[in-house]
Structure 1
Amino acid sequence: MSESKLWGMVHAERAALAEDLAGLKAEQWNTGSLCTEFTVREVVAHLTAGANLGPVRWMAGVIRYRFDFDAQVAYQLAQQLGNDHDETLERFRRSITSTTKPPIPIVAMLGEVIVHGEDIRRPLRIQRDYPIATLTHVAEYYHRSNMTVPSEQRSRGLRLCATDGPFSGGVQDGALVSGSTLALIMAMAGRSAYRAELAGEGAGVIAGSG
């Protein structure tokens, strides 16, 4: 798939998330997300930071924090929070069509906005009908890569099969894990909240490896 098409998917997911965020009440911004260290508002700021962090700034942060990536993430997040949730949302909106990224593949940026979008939506009981093609691209990437999250490590030795799309992967004779493409993605991203949506003898393995 071309870079322009992948960026189009990223931008579409950012725009959909911004639309969902626009309807939040003030107190909902402080809800704990599935990314357990962060509130909803902090996850949004984290996504904004990623959309404004090019290779040079990324490397400067790595050097500044001596390869402490958690400290770098916390610093970049704080830079994008703003004074209140309205400013947090406005900064995110301004980043919707950004093509700036750290030195990672575009599909990893797509995975970030989907996983963190669910980190936000799930606790708030907001549902999104994701395009299956978008989810399939992320699932294919996650089960082969550990670059942004140890997703390949979590699915190693298992046989993955989506029940709502064409995605399948892993070891042919491995323990089966089946479920929606989104549930498989979130399990590979270490979100145990999706355990109940998975089936097969390998479901407990991938869901318990967060």
Structure 2
Amino acid sequence: MQSSRETVWSLVHDERAALAADLADLAPEQWAVPSLCGRWSVEEVVAHLTAAASLGPFRWIRSMAGARFDAELHNARRLAEHRGATPAETLARFRAVVPSTTAASGHTPAWLGEVVVHAGDLRRPLRLPHSPSVEAATEVARFFASRDFTVNSRTAIAGLRLEAVDGEFATGEGPLVRGTTVALVMAMSGRAAFCDDLEGPGVETLRGRA
């Protein structure tokens, strides 16, 4: 059953707050650690999350148009806008948007996915033990399984059966992929490193699509 928009926004706020708490005690050098998100460092991913929580539909369209609909250029410009002069300032800016309900579209589970996935991009290389709640991860998993939106998640799991071992999420038919809901979400979003946390005959197919 799909949760209400208010419930999903509450989960977004909870996951942002948990991530901000995890980052509070980082050493200066840890902010420069490469994340799992392309070429971005930990600090750059945090600035990107702040940008995502600061752009409504009009500003997003205007920014994309200004970048000639080059998503990488748009992201780079907005990241630079929301990155602070120091990591402490970058974190303070992220903390300020924890309660935000601003988003580029009304696809609220996608913006929950934004923080869940990018939190994983940071926590794995930083070896931070916290994981998103199963409730939050399940909302994202259902959304990712239903469509390709910001990531090609539905395409990635075509012809596979996914089953969570810690929650109710299950979808698809075909070779089985089993694991925690968070690990399934991260693998669906193209993070091959999380395939190491999964089991089943379909894992290598999913890994190859990441």
Pairwise CA RMSD of aligned residues?
Answer: 0.9
Residue 204 of structure 1 is matched in structure 2 by 204
Residue 44 of structure 1 is matched in structure 2 by 46
SS at match of 2:16: helix
Match of 1:6 among 8, 12, 17: 8
2:130 is equivalent to residue 128 of structure 1: yes
2:191 is equivalent to residue 191 of structure 1: yes
Amino acid at match of 1:197: D
Greater Cα offset, 130-139 or 28-37: 130-139
SS at match of 1:103: coil
Q: Aligned partners of 2:162, 2:38: CA distance in 1, in Å? A: 26
Amino acid at match of 1:199: E
Residue 181 of structure 1 is matched in structure 2 by 181
Q: Aligned partners of 1:209, 1:60: CA distance in 2, in Å? A: 33
Amino acid at match of 2:150: T
Q: Aligned partners of 2:156, 2:107: CA distance in 1, in Å? A: 20
Cα deviations by residue, 1:14-63 (Å, 9 ceiling, x for unpaired): 00000011010110000000112100000000000000010001000121
Cα deviations by residue, 1:71-99 (Å, 9 ceiling, x for unpaired): 10111001011111011000000000000
Q: Aligned partners of 1:5, 1:104: CA distance in 2, in Å? A: 14
Task: Answer yes or no: is the 8 Å Cα contact 2:161–2:177 preserved in 1.
Answer: yes
SS at match of 2:178: strand
TM-score, structure 2 as length reference: 0.97
Residue 146 of structure 1 is matched in structure 2 by 148
Residue 61 of structure 2 is matched in structure 1 by 59
Q: Aligned partners of 1:118, 1:141: CA distance in 2, in Å? A: 17
Q: Identity over the aligned pairs, expressed in percent? A: 46
SS at match of 1:143: helix
TM-score, structure 1 as length reference: 0.97
Cα deviations by residue, 1:122-155 (Å, 9 ceiling, x for unpaired): 1010011432111111111111111110000101
Task: Give unpaired runs (5+ residues) of structure 1.
Answer: none
- The Cα shift of 1:104 comes to 4.7
Going from structure 1 to structure 2, the CA distance change for 1:38 and 1:129 (only over 3 Å counts) comes to closer
Q: Aligned partners of 1:111, 1:129: CA distance in 2, in Å? A: 13
Task: Give unpaired runs (5+ residues) of structure 2.
Answer: none
Q: In the comparison of the two structures, how many residue pairs are matched?
A: 208
Q: Aligned partners of 2:208, 2:130: CA distance in 1, in Å? A: 25
Task: Answer yes or no: is the 8 Å Cα contact 2:117–2:189 preserved in 1.
Answer: yes
- The Cα shift of 1:164 comes to 1.2
